[in-house]
Each structure stands twice: as structure tokens, then as C-alpha cells.
Structure 1
Amino acid sequence: MKNFLLTCLIVGVSLGTYAQTELSYHGKKINEKGAIPAAQLPAKMGNKEKMPAKVEGTVEDVCKMKGCWMKVKTADGQTMRVTFKDYGFFVPKDIVGKTVVVEGTAETTTTPVDELRHYAEDAGKSKEEIAKITEPEKALTFVADGVIVKK
């Protein structure tokens, strides 16, 4: 009986560990079906200012304060800032290098200097680096309804 209980415990812990290593969901529960590589998103956007999209990419940076934004690699060494709809959820702070699927709205936006400085502060940048931010940034951004983090 003791061996049976010990075996059940080991199997249960193993399955729990396995389940945690697969996927984690944040925000609206989405699936991976139909996601395009992040490198293809700029071309799909073309001249559109806004469009719904589902994108898969690699996390390059994440908010160190509470996981309230992340940057995903796109084409040619560029990144796309991903924020979360209505500030309604966050992602883990330790997902740099992991693959994510995001579903929501891709937009071409201009981010003002004060907001860029805020993001730099959240990312743990030095005061000198933050002071160098003096121009607004026009870039591809993404507002996610849901995120899947692949572990």
C-alpha cells in the first residue's frame, strides 16, 4: 500500500510538472491556429494603420516591474511592443527568449517621449539611457486580447 501511494504521488507530481511546461494562457484563452510568424506581420500590415491579427514570435524583452508589456522580434532585427487590452492581464517576467502567440490588434502608432521613457524605466534602463530618449517613435505595436506562452 505504501509503495502504491508513493507511486501515485510520483506520477501525480510528474504529470503536474509536465502540464506546467507546455503552455500558459494569459488574458482571453486563445489557440495557436492561424498564427503568422511575427516577421511576416509588417508586410501583412502594408499601409494599414490597424488590423486584427494572430502572431507567433520570440520575446526579446518584458516589463521587469510586473509583466505589463513585452517586445516580440519582427523582421530585420526590429521589435514590436505588445501591451495587453485594458491593462487587464500581465505575462510572467521571465519569458525572454520564449515563444509566444498573441491575438489582438496590430497598429502603427507613434509613442510619445514620456511613454518611451516610462517603458525604458520599466525595463530597468539606466538614467543615462532614459535621458537619451528625445524623439517620439513611430512603430508597429500590438494590443493583445490573449497570449499563449510556450515553455
Structure 2
Amino acid sequence: MKEGQEQSEYESFGAEISPRGSFSSSIMLEKFESLRSGDTINEKFSTTINSVCQAKGCWMVLELPGVDDVRVKFKDYGFFVPKDIIGKEVIVRGRAFVEMTSVEDQKHFAEDAGKSIDEIVAIREPEKSFGFIADGVLIKK
């Protein structure tokens, strides 16, 4: 299949990227697990969208095998994604890192995701999490 045909299967956000050469989510999980807090690597991987900011599409959470997910934000807050894309296939390119997410930020994200008050109140400890700043996103049509 030609690059143009592949590209037409996706809706593009942010920088223009190619669907070719992306890692699977299982390989990306291995890469995340090898990182220490403060490390960053530039990568491109494909997976499924688990949740999206319901306020304005300013972040999304992507599937990694097992219990770990990755929160994706967008470079320089420069673009947003649609709010109705949960379950769709996605390719993201950007900077991967490991961070500690504060209780305050976790509660904010839970609120944006439409979680219940009980779920939000239950958040009581900082959490080690996988982060990703995407400069380009492709969402399968």
C-alpha cells in the first residue's frame, strides 16, 4: 500500500506523521518500564484509546498491555483531539517519560474523565505513571 493510501485511513492532528514505523503497545510498555524518573525517549507507537478529556480533548489515555496505561498530552497545548474517540486505534509520535502524578493532578484528570465523586475522593497517594507528549497523532477513521 502506498503512503498516501495509508495516510488517508487516518485523521491527523498536530504535526503530520506517517503511520509507518510505529512500535506495538507491548514493545512500548517494555521501553517505558526501562525508564527511570527523569528519563525521556522519542518514540512512535500504536494502540487503542481508553479515555479522552471530556472537557475539551486536551489529553487521552492509551492502552498498554496489562494494567499500565499512558497519559498523552499534546505538545505546547497546540492541538486537541475529538472527545468521541474512545476505543479507536491511534498512532502517536513524541516524547515518552516516567513521572510521579500528584494527588491533585490525579483528581483533576478523574474529574475531566467524568469519574464519580467516590472515585475521585478515593485518590490519596501520588502515583508513578507513564507520560507522553505527542507532537503528532493519527486516529484510525
* TM-score grouping bracket, smaller chain normalisation: 0.7 to 0.9
Map 1:10-89 to 2 at 5 A: 22-45=9-32, 46-48=34-36, 49-89=39-79
Q: Distance in 2 between matches of 1:141 and 1:87?
A: 15
In structure 1, runs of 5+ residues without a counterpart are: 1-20
Percent identity, aligned pairs only, is 44
Q: Distance in 2 between matches of 1:47 and 1:56?
A: 19
CA RMSD of aligned residues (A): 1.3
User: TM-score, normalization: structure 2?
Assistant: 0.88
User: TM-score, normalization: structure 1?
Assistant: 0.82
| Pairing 1:129–2:116 present | no
Whichever structure has more helix as a proportion of its residues is 1
- Paired residues of 1:42 and 1:140 also in contact (CA < 8 A): no
- Report the AA paired with residue 34 of structure 1: G
Q: Distance in 1 between matches of 2:64 and 2:27?
A: 8
- Structure 1 22/47 Cα, relative in aligned 2: closer, same or farther at 3 Å? closer
* Count of matched residue pairs: 131
- Paired residues of 2:13 and 2:81 also in contact (CA < 8 A): yes
Q: Distance in 2 between matches of 1:111 and 1:34?
A: 30
Moved more, 114-123 or 45-54: 45-54
Residue 77 of structure 1 and its aligned partner are, at CA, apart by 3.3
Runs of 4+ deviating beyond 6 Å: none
CA displacement 1:21-72 (0-9 Å, x = unmatched): 8311111111112100122112124135210000100001111111111111
- Paired residues of 2:50 and 2:62 also in contact (CA < 8 A): yes
Structure index of larger Rg: 1
- SS, match of residue 119 in structure 2: helix
